[in-house]
Structures are given as structure tokens and as C-alpha cells.
Amino acid sequence: MIGLTHWRRSARRQLILAGCSALLSLALVCQAQAADTQAADEQKLRELDAQWSAAAGAKNVDKTVSYYSEDAVVLPPNSPSATTREAIRSAWKEMLTGPGAAISWKATKVEVAKSGDIAYVSGTYEETVNDASGTPIKDHGKYVEIFKKQTDGTWKAVVDIWNSDLPVPAPAEKK
């Protein structure tokens, strides 16, 4: 009888150890898969951001706006927030179709949350527009885009903000 009780305890310990070992192995595999997904998502976002810049560079308003989620917020400099699809489209249409308009940007940092459902992209942009006299004005600055993974697995920008590195012009003198 004592031998049978000892055997049961030993078997129970072995079962517990095997279960713990299996859980640890599963945790390590899940962690490795999360890291692989994170790196793939970072690469996907770099490519997506480059495609978005190319669409804006081609002055394709509809394609440019398609990178935003339905509930996106766009925070352009020196303008009110654009919180509706139509307001976002209108802001981009004004930027892309003005005389002499040219814009491009490049991601310098992409960070995906460990959860894999949200990320940010930051980088630099260059833009040219013509002033009222037709003289080209060149601008450059930085931007941050916050992306959210959609239910279909695609990434869409939910927040977009950019601002100039150039100093604010001095106020015009009153006559």
C-alpha cells in the first residue's frame, strides 16, 4: 500500500512538472511569435507609409485619404482639426491641388505596441506651395501618425499631425 501511495505522489509530481514545462514552452513560443509579428508589422507600416507618401506626391486625393480610418482625426498646422471624412478630404484636396503643390515624407521610426494592434510612425516631410504671388515656398518638418490595426488585419491611420521646422515669420508691420 505504501508503495502505491508513493507511486501516485511521484506520478502526480511528474504530471505537474510536465504541465509546468508545457506551459513554459507555450509561453516562450507565443513570445517568439509576438516578436516575429511585431517586426513584420513594423516593416508593413514602413511600406504603407511610403505608399501613402507616393499617393500624396502623385496628388491622388482619394488614395491619400484612403489611408485613414473612418474615425480618424487629422491635425494640420495652422488649421482646425479635421474629424470627418469630408473635412479630411477637403484638407488634403487643398494641400495637393494648389499651384506648385508638392509633398513627400519619410518614416524615421516605427514602433508597434506589444499588443500588435496599435503603432506609431514618425518622420520628416518636405512640402512646396506657391504663395499669392506665385513664388514657391519650401517647408520641411516632422510628423507623427498613429495607426490602428483594423478587424480585417489592415492598418489605418487614426491620428495624423505634422508641423514645420521653419521659424514663424515675423508679423507684418502696420502702416
Q: Note the pTM of the prediction, 2 decimals.
A: 0.77
Residue 174 lies in a domain: no
Q: What is the pLDDT of residues 52-70, one digit of tens each?
A: 999 999 999 999 999 999 9
| 27 vs 130: which has the higher pLDDT | 130
Q: For residue 37, what pLDDT band results from cuts at 50, 70 and 90?
A: confident
Is the confidence at residue 159, as pLDDT, over 70?
A: yes
DSSP string for residues in 48-90:
HHHHHHHHHHTT-HHHHHTTEEEEEEEE-TTS--B-SHHHHHH
Residue 86 lies in a domain: yes
pLDDT at 32: 45
Residue 3 lies in a domain: no
Residue 29 lies in a domain: no
Residue 170 lies in a domain: no
In total, how many domains does the chain have?
1
Is the confidence at residue 71, as pLDDT, over 70?
A: yes
What's the CATH code of the domain at 89? Answer: 3.10.450.50
Residues 41-46: contacts with CB under 8 Å, at least 24 apart: 41/112, 41/116, 41/119, 41/149, 41/155, 42/110, 42/111, 42/112, 42/119, 44/155, 45/107, 45/110, 45/112, 45/119, 45/121, 45/147, 45/155, 46/107, 46/110, 46/121
pLDDT at 30: 47
What domain range is 108 assigned to? 41-164
pLDDT at 173: 79
Residue 34 lies in a domain: no
Residue 53 lies in a domain: yes
Residue 116 lies in a domain: yes
Q: What is the pLDDT of residues 78-108, one digit of tens each?
A: 899 999 999 999 999 999 999 999 999 999 9
pLDDT at 33: 47
- In the numeric block, which cell numbers belong to residue 85? 471624412
Cβ(85)–Cβ(65) below 8 Å: yes
Average pLDDT over residues 135-152: 97
